Amino acid sequence: MSETTDIIEELLEATGLDKNYRTDSIALLEKGESRYVRDLKLNFTSTLTSEHLSAKECGLLGLSIAVNNNNKPLTAFYTKFSEEQGATAAEIAEAVGCASLLASNNVFYRFRHFTQKEKYTQIPARIRMQLMMKPVTGKEFFELMSLAVSAVNGCEMCVNAHEDSLIKLGTTEERIFDAVRIASLVTATGKIVY
């Protein structure tokens, strides 16, 4: 067995998958004995810790991004990890709901931003957003998840709005940066483990 295969098996076991699980992407990395698998494993592992976020927050952020990206293995992993870190069923449901709500908002507000037409800013959005009003995870953390999902979905207007809200709420730039870092690494892992 090669070192690459060993690292792939460690990554798979870390995500709760059988060490023999293979996607087409994993098989290609393994066949080419890619050095990237070491980075992938270390990057994935780094989504679970932060100097600026609690382990529970890391898990809920990972869950929201995994749901946003429709990644079943990572959704299962981050759900379990979040539960192990003390997340309640309501907090887990909110992370899932955040991914869905922000998916619609990101499409809608990207459209408004892309067209740059005043008329579209005058027409009511008619998108229900009660989830944002009194989040069980707290306003600041819900904004942080919203920013992370918006960054993954590429909505510039949404990223700027959520980042501005977070700064006004007193969130540090380091905390914001870590949330987006985690979102990027969960997305990267999901390109290989799916």
The mean pLDDT of 48-77, rounded to a whole number, is 98
Q: At what angle do helices 89-115 and 72-84 cross, to 10 degrees?
A: 130
Residue-level pLDDT at 1: 76
Q: How far apart are the first and last CA of the chain?
A: 23
The amino acid present at 165, given as its one-letter code, is S
What residues are labeled active site? Answer: 155, 158
The verdict on pTM exceeding 0.85 is yes
| Residues in the chain, overall count | 194
Q: How far apart are CA 57 and CA 113, in angstroms?
A: 30
Please report the pLDDT score of residue 32 as a whole number: 98
Give, for 14, the enclosing helix (H) or strand (E): helix 3-14
Give 123-132 pLDDT, tens digit per residue. Answer: 998 898 888 8
For the stretch 140-166, pLDDT in tens is: 999 999 999 999 999 999 999 999 999
The mean of the pLDDT values for the chain is: 97
Q: For residue 110, with 0-12 CB atoms within 10 Å meaning exposed, 13-18 middle and 19 or more buried, which class applies? A: middle
pLDDT of 174: 98
- Domains of the chain plus CATH, in order, are 52-188 (1.20.1290.10)
Structure confidence by residue, pLDDT tens digits, 18-51: 999 999 999 999 999 999 999 999 999 999 999 9
* pLDDT value, residue 128: 87
The conformation of residue 134, written as its DSSP 8-state character, comes to S
CB 82 within 8 A of CB 63: yes
